[in-house]
Structure 1
Amino acid sequence: MRSRSEEEDGTAIANRTAYPRGKRVSLIPADHACGLCPVRLQTFCGLLEAEDLARFKYQGSTGRLKPGEPLFHEGDAADLVYNLTAGTLKLYKLLPDGRRQIIGFLLPGDFLGTAPGDHAFSAEAVEPAEYCRFARARFDAFVDTHPEIGRELYLMAVHELAAAREQMVLLGRKTAAERLATFLLGLFDRARARNADWEIVRLPMSRTDIADYLGLTKETVSRSFTAFRTAGMIRLLPADRVELLQRGPLEELASANAG
Protein backbone atom coordinates (compact mmCIF):
# COMPACT_ATOMS: atom_id res chain seq x y z
CA MET A 1 0.00 0.00 0.00
CA ARG A 2 1.23 3.46 -0.85
CA SER A 3 -0.18 6.75 0.36
CA ARG A 4 1.19 9.69 -1.58
CA SER A 5 -0.09 13.09 -2.56
CA GLU A 6 1.29 13.49 -6.07
CA GLU A 7 1.31 16.25 -8.63
CA GLU A 8 1.62 14.68 -12.09
CA ASP A 9 2.92 17.43 -14.34
CA GLY A 10 5.35 15.58 -16.58
CA THR A 11 8.40 17.31 -15.09
CA ALA A 12 11.34 15.29 -13.77
CA ILE A 13 14.79 16.20 -12.60
CA ALA A 14 17.33 13.48 -11.82
CA ASN A 15 19.17 13.64 -8.53
CA ARG A 16 21.90 12.17 -6.35
CA THR A 17 23.63 12.83 -3.04
CA ALA A 18 24.85 16.27 -2.02
CA TYR A 19 28.51 15.61 -2.80
CA PRO A 20 29.02 17.17 -6.24
CA ARG A 21 31.72 15.66 -8.41
CA GLY A 22 32.76 16.14 -12.01
CA LYS A 23 32.01 18.90 -14.46
CA ARG A 24 28.61 20.55 -14.19
CA VAL A 25 26.99 22.30 -17.12
CA SER A 26 24.49 25.14 -16.88
CA LEU A 27 22.95 25.52 -20.31
CA ILE A 28 19.26 25.38 -19.38
CA PRO A 29 17.12 28.50 -19.89
CA ALA A 30 16.07 30.12 -16.62
CA ASP A 31 12.37 29.59 -17.36
CA HIS A 32 12.87 25.86 -18.14
CA ALA A 33 11.44 23.54 -15.46
CA CYS A 34 14.88 22.05 -14.77
CA GLY A 35 16.41 25.52 -14.79
CA LEU A 36 14.15 26.42 -11.89
CA CYS A 37 15.18 23.37 -9.85
CA PRO A 38 17.22 24.59 -6.84
CA VAL A 39 19.34 21.42 -6.67
CA ARG A 40 19.93 20.58 -10.34
CA LEU A 41 23.60 21.50 -10.36
CA GLN A 42 24.16 19.43 -7.21
CA THR A 43 22.88 16.27 -8.90
CA PHE A 44 24.00 14.03 -11.73
CA CYS A 45 21.52 15.66 -14.11
CA GLY A 46 23.81 18.67 -13.88
CA LEU A 47 26.13 16.63 -16.11
CA LEU A 48 23.61 16.57 -18.95
CA GLU A 49 23.59 19.02 -21.83
CA ALA A 50 20.33 20.83 -22.51
CA GLU A 51 19.13 18.46 -25.24
CA ASP A 52 19.69 15.32 -23.17
CA LEU A 53 18.15 16.91 -20.10
CA ALA A 54 15.05 17.90 -22.06
CA ARG A 55 14.58 14.27 -23.17
CA PHE A 56 15.26 13.00 -19.68
CA LYS A 57 12.78 15.18 -17.82
CA TYR A 58 9.79 13.99 -19.84
CA GLN A 59 10.38 10.41 -18.76
CA GLY A 60 9.27 11.16 -15.19
CA SER A 61 6.87 13.14 -13.06
CA THR A 62 6.88 15.13 -9.84
CA GLY A 63 5.11 14.69 -6.52
CA ARG A 64 4.58 16.34 -3.16
CA LEU A 65 4.29 14.99 0.37
CA LYS A 66 2.78 16.44 3.51
CA PRO A 67 4.56 16.03 6.87
CA GLY A 68 4.11 12.46 8.09
CA GLU A 69 3.04 11.19 4.67
CA PRO A 70 4.93 8.13 3.36
CA LEU A 71 6.67 7.99 0.01
CA PHE A 72 6.70 4.19 0.24
CA HIS A 73 6.58 1.46 2.88
CA GLU A 74 9.03 -1.28 3.74
CA GLY A 75 8.21 -4.26 1.53
CA ASP A 76 6.76 -2.23 -1.35
CA ALA A 77 8.09 -3.12 -4.79
CA ALA A 78 10.99 -0.83 -5.70
CA ASP A 79 9.80 -0.19 -9.25
CA LEU A 80 10.38 3.57 -9.07
CA VAL A 81 13.42 5.73 -8.35
CA TYR A 82 13.18 9.13 -6.72
CA ASN A 83 15.16 12.31 -6.26
CA LEU A 84 14.31 14.73 -3.50
CA THR A 85 14.16 18.37 -4.62
CA ALA A 86 12.74 20.02 -1.48
CA GLY A 87 12.09 19.11 2.13
CA THR A 88 13.38 16.27 4.29
CA LEU A 89 12.57 12.55 4.42
CA LYS A 90 13.36 10.03 7.14
CA LEU A 91 14.15 6.41 6.35
CA TYR A 92 13.26 3.82 8.97
CA LYS A 93 12.73 0.14 9.71
CA LEU A 94 10.25 -1.37 12.12
CA LEU A 95 11.83 -3.89 14.48
CA PRO A 96 10.06 -7.17 15.37
CA ASP A 97 9.05 -5.78 18.77
CA GLY A 98 7.38 -2.76 17.15
CA ARG A 99 10.13 -0.26 17.85
CA ARG A 100 11.33 2.03 15.06
CA GLN A 101 14.95 2.49 13.99
CA ILE A 102 15.60 5.51 11.80
CA ILE A 103 18.46 4.65 9.45
CA GLY A 104 18.90 8.01 7.75
CA PHE A 105 17.59 11.37 6.64
CA LEU A 106 17.36 12.54 3.03
CA LEU A 107 17.84 16.19 2.11
CA PRO A 108 17.31 18.06 -1.18
CA GLY A 109 19.70 16.66 -3.75
CA ASP A 110 19.50 13.06 -2.52
CA PHE A 111 18.60 10.14 -4.79
CA LEU A 112 16.59 7.15 -3.61
CA GLY A 113 15.61 3.73 -4.91
CA THR A 114 18.71 2.38 -6.64
CA ALA A 115 18.46 -1.07 -5.00
CA PRO A 116 16.23 -3.47 -6.99
CA GLY A 117 13.60 -5.75 -5.50
CA ASP A 118 11.44 -4.66 -2.57
CA HIS A 119 12.19 -1.65 -0.41
CA ALA A 120 14.12 -2.66 2.71
CA PHE A 121 12.85 0.37 4.66
CA SER A 122 10.09 2.98 4.73
CA ALA A 123 10.43 6.62 3.66
CA GLU A 124 8.31 9.37 5.24
CA ALA A 125 8.23 13.16 4.97
CA VAL A 126 9.53 15.07 7.99
CA GLU A 127 8.27 18.36 6.52
CA PRO A 128 6.58 19.35 3.24
CA ALA A 129 8.64 17.68 0.53
CA GLU A 130 8.85 17.59 -3.26
CA TYR A 131 10.43 14.96 -5.45
CA CYS A 132 10.85 13.69 -8.98
CA ARG A 133 10.26 10.06 -9.83
CA PHE A 134 11.02 7.68 -12.70
CA ALA A 135 9.99 4.18 -13.62
CA ARG A 136 13.05 2.05 -12.92
CA ALA A 137 13.10 0.43 -16.37
CA ARG A 138 13.04 3.77 -18.20
CA PHE A 139 15.63 5.25 -15.86
CA ASP A 140 17.97 2.27 -16.28
CA ALA A 141 17.60 2.47 -20.07
CA PHE A 142 18.57 6.15 -20.04
CA VAL A 143 21.58 5.46 -17.81
CA ASP A 144 22.75 2.73 -20.20
CA THR A 145 23.16 5.36 -22.92
CA HIS A 146 24.82 7.92 -20.63
CA PRO A 147 27.89 6.39 -18.96
CA GLU A 148 28.67 9.60 -17.10
CA ILE A 149 25.50 9.08 -15.06
CA GLY A 150 26.48 5.47 -14.41
CA ARG A 151 29.77 6.66 -12.95
CA GLU A 152 27.93 9.08 -10.67
CA LEU A 153 25.61 6.31 -9.49
CA TYR A 154 28.65 4.17 -8.69
CA LEU A 155 30.13 6.99 -6.61
CA MET A 156 26.79 7.33 -4.82
CA ALA A 157 26.84 3.64 -3.94
CA VAL A 158 30.39 3.95 -2.59
CA HIS A 159 29.36 6.91 -0.43
CA GLU A 160 26.28 5.10 0.88
CA LEU A 161 28.38 2.08 1.86
CA ALA A 162 30.81 4.32 3.75
CA ALA A 163 27.88 6.02 5.49
CA ALA A 164 26.45 2.64 6.53
CA ARG A 165 29.78 1.66 8.05
CA GLU A 166 29.99 4.96 9.90
CA GLN A 167 26.51 4.37 11.29
CA MET A 168 27.60 0.98 12.64
CA VAL A 169 30.46 2.66 14.50
CA LEU A 170 28.14 5.42 15.65
CA LEU A 171 25.70 3.02 17.27
CA GLY A 172 28.21 0.47 18.46
CA ARG A 173 31.03 2.39 20.11
CA LYS A 174 30.29 6.08 20.60
CA THR A 175 28.84 7.84 23.62
CA ALA A 176 25.71 9.97 23.42
CA ALA A 177 27.69 13.21 23.06
CA GLU A 178 29.96 11.65 20.43
CA ARG A 179 26.97 10.44 18.44
CA LEU A 180 25.27 13.84 18.42
CA ALA A 181 28.54 15.60 17.52
CA THR A 182 29.00 13.24 14.57
CA PHE A 183 25.43 13.83 13.42
CA LEU A 184 25.72 17.63 13.58
CA LEU A 185 29.09 17.74 11.83
CA GLY A 186 27.66 15.60 9.05
CA LEU A 187 24.93 18.19 8.48
CA PHE A 188 27.39 21.07 8.53
CA ASP A 189 29.65 19.25 6.07
CA ARG A 190 26.74 18.61 3.72
CA ALA A 191 25.83 22.30 3.81
CA ARG A 192 29.44 23.24 3.05
CA ALA A 193 29.50 20.81 0.10
CA ARG A 194 26.52 22.68 -1.33
CA ASN A 195 28.35 26.02 -1.00
CA ALA A 196 25.58 27.13 1.35
CA ASP A 197 25.78 29.17 4.53
CA TRP A 198 27.19 26.02 6.12
CA GLU A 199 27.74 27.42 9.62
CA ILE A 200 23.96 27.47 10.13
CA VAL A 201 21.86 24.38 9.39
CA ARG A 202 18.18 23.51 9.83
CA LEU A 203 17.05 20.57 11.92
CA PRO A 204 13.49 19.95 10.71
CA MET A 205 13.47 16.51 12.34
CA SER A 206 12.21 16.21 15.91
CA ARG A 207 14.37 15.36 18.90
CA THR A 208 12.58 12.00 18.95
CA ASP A 209 13.59 11.36 15.32
CA ILE A 210 17.20 12.28 16.09
CA ALA A 211 17.11 9.99 19.12
CA ASP A 212 15.75 7.09 17.04
CA TYR A 213 18.54 7.64 14.50
CA LEU A 214 21.30 7.82 17.11
CA GLY A 215 19.99 4.98 19.26
CA LEU A 216 19.34 7.26 22.23
CA THR A 217 16.37 8.59 24.18
CA LYS A 218 14.77 11.94 23.47
CA GLU A 219 15.82 13.16 26.92
CA THR A 220 19.46 12.23 26.31
CA VAL A 221 19.48 14.06 22.98
CA SER A 222 17.98 17.17 24.60
CA ARG A 223 20.57 17.08 27.40
CA SER A 224 23.39 16.75 24.87
CA PHE A 225 22.12 19.75 22.89
CA THR A 226 22.01 21.73 26.12
CA ALA A 227 25.55 20.67 27.02
CA PHE A 228 26.87 21.69 23.58
CA ARG A 229 25.13 25.05 23.86
CA THR A 230 26.41 25.66 27.40
CA ALA A 231 29.96 24.79 26.29
CA GLY A 232 29.73 27.38 23.52
CA MET A 233 30.03 24.87 20.67
CA ILE A 234 26.66 25.65 19.10
CA ARG A 235 23.87 28.21 19.28
CA LEU A 236 20.21 27.18 18.99
CA LEU A 237 18.33 29.63 16.78
CA PRO A 238 14.65 30.10 15.92
CA ALA A 239 13.05 28.10 13.09
CA ASP A 240 14.82 24.85 14.04
CA ARG A 241 18.26 26.18 13.14
CA VAL A 242 21.63 25.43 14.74
CA GLU A 243 24.70 27.63 14.37
CA LEU A 244 28.20 26.19 14.61
CA LEU A 245 30.39 28.28 16.95
CA GLN A 246 33.35 26.00 17.69
CA ARG A 247 34.11 23.19 15.26
CA GLY A 248 37.22 21.90 17.03
CA PRO A 249 35.52 20.52 20.17
CA LEU A 250 32.80 18.89 18.08
CA GLU A 251 35.43 17.26 15.87
CA GLU A 252 37.22 15.90 18.91
CA LEU A 253 34.01 14.34 20.13
CA ALA A 254 33.07 12.99 16.72
CA SER A 255 36.47 11.34 16.16
CA ALA A 256 36.50 9.59 19.54
CA ASN A 257 36.05 5.80 19.40
CA ALA A 258 36.02 5.94 15.60
CA GLY A 259 39.07 3.74 15.15
Structure 2
Amino acid sequence: MHRLNRQLAPGQHIFFESDPARFVYKVRSGVLRLTRTQRDGRRQVIAFGFPGDIVGLPCAGRHTTECDAITSAEVSARRCDPLDHPESDPKLHSLLVTAALDEIRFLQDHFLIFGRRRASEKVAAFLILLLDRVGEAADDRHLVRLPMNRSDIADYVGLTPETVSRSITQLRAEKMIKLDDPNTIIVRDPDRLRALAEGAQELVADWS
Protein backbone atom coordinates (compact mmCIF):
# COMPACT_ATOMS: atom_id res chain seq x y z
CA MET A 1 0.00 0.00 0.00
CA HIS A 2 1.69 3.18 -1.18
CA ARG A 3 1.46 6.06 1.25
CA LEU A 4 2.86 9.53 1.49
CA ASN A 5 3.65 11.05 4.88
CA ARG A 6 2.90 14.72 5.42
CA GLN A 7 3.83 17.08 8.26
CA LEU A 8 1.28 19.66 9.37
CA ALA A 9 1.63 22.85 11.38
CA PRO A 10 -1.14 23.98 13.76
CA GLY A 11 -3.93 25.55 11.74
CA GLN A 12 -2.83 23.99 8.45
CA HIS A 13 -5.63 22.45 6.40
CA ILE A 14 -5.53 19.05 4.73
CA PHE A 15 -8.76 19.49 2.79
CA PHE A 16 -11.89 21.62 2.64
CA GLU A 17 -15.57 20.74 2.49
CA SER A 18 -16.65 19.68 -1.03
CA ASP A 19 -13.06 19.24 -2.25
CA PRO A 20 -12.63 16.25 -4.59
CA ALA A 21 -11.55 13.33 -2.39
CA ARG A 22 -8.52 11.64 -3.87
CA PHE A 23 -6.88 10.59 -0.62
CA VAL A 24 -7.76 9.45 2.88
CA TYR A 25 -5.45 10.24 5.77
CA LYS A 26 -4.27 8.24 8.75
CA VAL A 27 -3.24 10.30 11.77
CA ARG A 28 0.28 9.34 12.85
CA SER A 29 0.70 11.98 15.55
CA GLY A 30 -1.02 15.12 16.77
CA VAL A 31 -4.72 16.00 16.69
CA LEU A 32 -6.91 17.07 13.77
CA ARG A 33 -10.22 18.92 13.75
CA LEU A 34 -13.07 18.17 11.32
CA THR A 35 -15.67 20.91 10.91
CA ARG A 36 -18.60 22.03 8.81
CA THR A 37 -19.95 25.53 8.34
CA GLN A 38 -23.70 25.94 8.67
CA ARG A 39 -25.73 28.16 6.36
CA ASP A 40 -25.83 30.94 8.93
CA GLY A 41 -22.04 30.89 9.14
CA ARG A 42 -21.77 29.09 12.47
CA ARG A 43 -19.15 26.38 12.80
CA GLN A 44 -19.89 22.85 13.95
CA VAL A 45 -17.04 20.63 15.05
CA ILE A 46 -17.95 17.19 13.72
CA ALA A 47 -15.07 15.16 15.12
CA PHE A 48 -11.46 15.18 16.27
CA GLY A 49 -8.85 12.97 14.64
CA PHE A 50 -6.45 11.27 17.06
CA PRO A 51 -3.44 9.04 16.34
CA GLY A 52 -4.62 5.87 14.61
CA ASP A 53 -7.77 7.46 13.17
CA ILE A 54 -8.46 7.61 9.45
CA VAL A 55 -10.10 10.83 8.24
CA GLY A 56 -11.34 12.09 4.92
CA LEU A 57 -13.60 9.24 3.88
CA PRO A 58 -15.49 10.52 0.82
CA CYS A 59 -19.16 10.77 -0.04
CA ALA A 60 -19.94 10.83 -3.77
CA GLY A 61 -16.26 11.46 -4.41
CA ARG A 62 -15.97 14.57 -2.23
CA HIS A 63 -14.99 15.47 1.32
CA THR A 64 -17.96 16.27 3.55
CA THR A 65 -16.00 18.38 6.07
CA GLU A 66 -12.94 20.54 6.22
CA CYS A 67 -9.99 19.29 8.22
CA ASP A 68 -7.13 21.15 9.84
CA ALA A 69 -4.49 20.43 12.47
CA ILE A 70 -5.00 21.61 16.05
CA THR A 71 -1.43 20.69 16.97
CA SER A 72 1.66 19.85 14.99
CA ALA A 73 0.72 16.61 13.32
CA GLU A 74 1.83 13.94 10.89
CA VAL A 75 -0.52 12.08 8.57
CA SER A 76 -0.03 9.47 5.90
CA ALA A 77 -2.07 9.87 2.72
CA ARG A 78 -3.39 6.91 0.78
CA ARG A 79 -5.47 6.92 -2.36
CA CYS A 80 -9.11 6.08 -1.73
CA ASP A 81 -9.62 4.21 -5.04
CA PRO A 82 -9.99 0.83 -3.23
CA LEU A 83 -13.35 2.00 -1.87
CA ASP A 84 -14.75 1.77 -5.40
CA HIS A 85 -12.41 -0.94 -6.65
CA PRO A 86 -11.71 -3.34 -3.76
CA GLU A 87 -9.87 -5.78 -6.01
CA SER A 88 -7.13 -3.20 -6.59
CA ASP A 89 -5.97 -3.38 -2.95
CA PRO A 90 -8.03 -5.76 -0.78
CA LYS A 91 -6.03 -5.00 2.37
CA LEU A 92 -6.53 -1.25 2.06
CA HIS A 93 -10.19 -1.76 1.17
CA SER A 94 -10.69 -3.74 4.39
CA LEU A 95 -8.92 -1.00 6.35
CA LEU A 96 -11.15 1.71 4.87
CA VAL A 97 -14.34 -0.27 5.54
CA THR A 98 -13.28 -0.65 9.18
CA ALA A 99 -12.56 3.09 9.32
CA ALA A 100 -16.03 3.82 7.93
CA LEU A 101 -17.65 1.67 10.63
CA ASP A 102 -15.55 3.41 13.30
CA GLU A 103 -16.67 6.78 11.94
CA ILE A 104 -20.32 5.74 12.24
CA ARG A 105 -19.73 4.67 15.86
CA PHE A 106 -17.98 7.96 16.71
CA LEU A 107 -20.83 9.93 15.13
CA GLN A 108 -23.31 7.97 17.24
CA ASP A 109 -21.30 8.90 20.33
CA HIS A 110 -21.40 12.52 19.17
CA PHE A 111 -25.18 12.42 18.74
CA LEU A 112 -25.53 11.11 22.30
CA ILE A 113 -23.40 13.95 23.64
CA PHE A 114 -25.12 16.60 21.54
CA GLY A 115 -28.57 15.39 22.52
CA ARG A 116 -28.08 15.62 26.28
CA ARG A 117 -30.02 18.39 28.06
CA ARG A 118 -27.64 19.29 30.87
CA ALA A 119 -24.45 21.17 30.06
CA SER A 120 -22.64 19.27 32.83
CA GLU A 121 -23.62 15.94 31.24
CA LYS A 122 -22.37 17.07 27.84
CA VAL A 123 -18.99 18.14 29.19
CA ALA A 124 -18.69 15.00 31.33
CA ALA A 125 -19.51 12.84 28.29
CA PHE A 126 -16.87 14.67 26.25
CA LEU A 127 -14.23 14.12 28.95
CA ILE A 128 -15.15 10.43 29.20
CA LEU A 129 -14.88 10.13 25.42
CA LEU A 130 -11.35 11.57 25.59
CA LEU A 131 -10.48 9.47 28.63
CA ASP A 132 -11.49 6.28 26.82
CA ARG A 133 -9.74 7.21 23.59
CA VAL A 134 -6.56 9.06 24.57
CA GLY A 135 -6.50 9.08 28.38
CA GLU A 136 -3.21 8.50 30.16
CA ALA A 137 -2.52 6.63 33.39
CA ALA A 138 0.27 8.08 35.51
CA ASP A 139 0.93 7.22 39.16
CA ASP A 140 -2.64 5.98 39.64
CA ARG A 141 -3.95 9.18 38.09
CA HIS A 142 -6.13 9.42 34.99
CA LEU A 143 -5.00 12.27 32.76
CA VAL A 144 -6.88 13.86 29.87
CA ARG A 145 -4.91 16.34 27.80
CA LEU A 146 -6.94 18.92 25.90
CA PRO A 147 -5.20 20.00 22.68
CA MET A 148 -8.43 21.70 21.65
CA ASN A 149 -9.56 25.00 23.19
CA ARG A 150 -12.85 25.74 24.95
CA SER A 151 -14.37 27.05 21.72
CA ASP A 152 -13.62 23.76 19.95
CA ILE A 153 -15.24 21.82 22.79
CA ALA A 154 -18.24 24.17 22.74
CA ASP A 155 -18.69 23.74 18.99
CA TYR A 156 -18.51 19.97 19.43
CA VAL A 157 -21.03 19.59 22.26
CA GLY A 158 -23.38 22.42 21.28
CA LEU A 159 -22.69 24.90 24.09
CA THR A 160 -21.01 28.28 24.46
CA PRO A 161 -17.35 28.50 25.54
CA GLU A 162 -18.48 30.25 28.72
CA THR A 163 -20.85 27.39 29.58
CA VAL A 164 -18.08 24.84 28.94
CA SER A 165 -15.80 26.73 31.34
CA ARG A 166 -18.54 26.95 33.98
CA SER A 167 -19.27 23.24 33.65
CA ILE A 168 -15.61 22.39 34.12
CA THR A 169 -15.58 24.60 37.22
CA GLN A 170 -18.67 22.77 38.45
CA LEU A 171 -17.07 19.37 37.95
CA ARG A 172 -14.02 20.60 39.87
CA ALA A 173 -16.23 21.78 42.73
CA GLU A 174 -17.85 18.34 42.83
CA LYS A 175 -14.31 16.83 43.05
CA MET A 176 -14.75 14.70 39.94
CA ILE A 177 -11.84 16.40 38.20
CA LYS A 178 -9.08 18.87 38.88
CA LEU A 179 -6.85 20.89 36.59
CA ASP A 180 -3.15 20.14 36.51
CA ASP A 181 -2.86 23.07 34.09
CA PRO A 182 -5.41 24.74 31.77
CA ASN A 183 -5.01 21.96 29.20
CA THR A 184 -4.52 18.93 31.44
CA ILE A 185 -7.41 17.46 33.42
CA ILE A 186 -6.93 14.90 36.17
CA VAL A 187 -10.01 12.71 36.49
CA ARG A 188 -10.27 12.16 40.24
CA ASP A 189 -13.42 10.05 40.22
CA PRO A 190 -13.87 8.25 36.88
CA ASP A 191 -16.90 6.31 38.10
CA ARG A 192 -18.86 9.40 39.14
CA LEU A 193 -17.85 11.25 35.99
CA ARG A 194 -18.98 8.32 33.85
CA ALA A 195 -22.25 8.09 35.78
CA LEU A 196 -22.90 11.76 35.14
CA ALA A 197 -22.02 11.33 31.46
CA GLU A 198 -24.61 8.59 31.27
CA GLY A 199 -27.23 10.78 32.94
CA ALA A 200 -27.32 8.69 36.12
CA GLN A 201 -26.36 11.47 38.52
CA GLU A 202 -27.54 15.01 39.17
CA LEU A 203 -25.43 17.90 40.38
CA VAL A 204 -26.50 20.67 42.71
CA ALA A 205 -26.42 23.34 39.99
CA ASP A 206 -27.51 23.14 36.38
CA TRP A 207 -25.53 25.32 33.98
CA SER A 208 -27.50 24.41 30.84
For residues 75-86 of structure 1, the aligned pairs below 5 Å read 75-86=18-29
**Residues in 2 aligned to 1:113 and 1:124: alpha-carbon distance in whole angstroms:** 11
Q: Supply the AA of the counterpart residue of 1:80.
A: F
- Structure-2 residue corresponding to 1:228: 171
Q: Supply the AA of the counterpart residue of 1:114.
A: L
Q: Supply the AA of the counterpart residue of 1:250.
A: L
1:127 matched to 2:67? The reply is: no
Residue 71 (structure 1) aligned to one of 14, 23, 26: 14
TM-score by length of 2: 0.84
| CA distances 1:9-64 after superposition (whole Å, capped 9, x unpaired) | xxxxxxxxxxxxxxxxxxxxxxxxxxxxxxxxxxxxxxxxxxxxxxx3xx221111
Q: Supply the AA of the counterpart residue of 1:135.
A: R
For residues 81-160 of structure 1, the aligned pairs below 5 Å read 81-116=24-59, 117-137=61-81, 144=87, 147=90, 150-160=93-103
1:206 matched to 2:149? The reply is: yes
**Residues in 1 aligned to 2:62 and 2:96: alpha-carbon distance in whole angstroms:** 19
Residue 126 (structure 2) aligned to one of 162, 178, 183: 183
1:118 shift after superposition:
1.0
Instruction: Say if 2:53 and 2:99, in contact at 8 Å, map to a contact too.
Output: no
**Residues in 2 aligned to 1:120 and 1:145: alpha-carbon distance in whole angstroms:** 24
* Alpha carbons of structure 1 residues 163 and 75: separation in structure 2 relative to 1, 3 Å: same
Q: Which runs of 5+ in 2 are unaligned?
A: 201-208
* Alpha carbons of structure 1 residues 167 and 174: separation in structure 2 relative to 1, 3 Å: farther
1:155 shift after superposition:
3.5
Instruction: Say if 2:26 and 2:75, in contact at 8 Å, map to a contact too.
Output: yes
- Structure-2 residue corresponding to 1:27: none
How large is the Cα RMSD of the aligned pairs?
A: 2.3
The structure that is strand-richer by fraction is: 2
TM-score by length of 1: 0.69
* Alpha carbons of structure 1 residues 157 and 68: separation in structure 2 relative to 1, 3 Å: same
Q: Supply the AA of the counterpart residue of 1:77.
A: P
Q: Supply the AA of the counterpart residue of 1:218.
A: P
1:253 shift after superposition:
1.3
Instruction: Say if 1:73 and 1:119, in contact at 8 Å, map to a contact too.
Output: yes
Q: Which runs of 5+ in 1 are unaligned?
A: 1-55
**Residues in 1 aligned to 2:196 and 2:75: alpha-carbon distance in whole angstroms:** 35
Moved more, 90-99 or 231-240: 231-240
Give the secondary-structure state (helix, strand or coil) at the position aligned to 1:118: coil
Give the secondary-structure state (helix, strand or coil) at the position aligned to 2:52: coil
- Structure-1 residue corresponding to 2:137: 197
**Residues in 1 aligned to 2:42 and 2:49: alpha-carbon distance in whole angstroms:** 21
1:253 matched to 2:196? The reply is: yes
- Structure-2 residue corresponding to 1:168: 111
1:248 shift after superposition:
1.7
1:238 matched to 2:181? The reply is: yes
Give the secondary-structure state (helix, strand or coil) at the position aligned to 2:48: strand
* Alpha carbons of structure 1 residues 125 and 224: separation in structure 2 relative to 1, 3 Å: same
* Alpha carbons of structure 1 residues 104 and 79: separation in structure 2 relative to 1, 3 Å: same
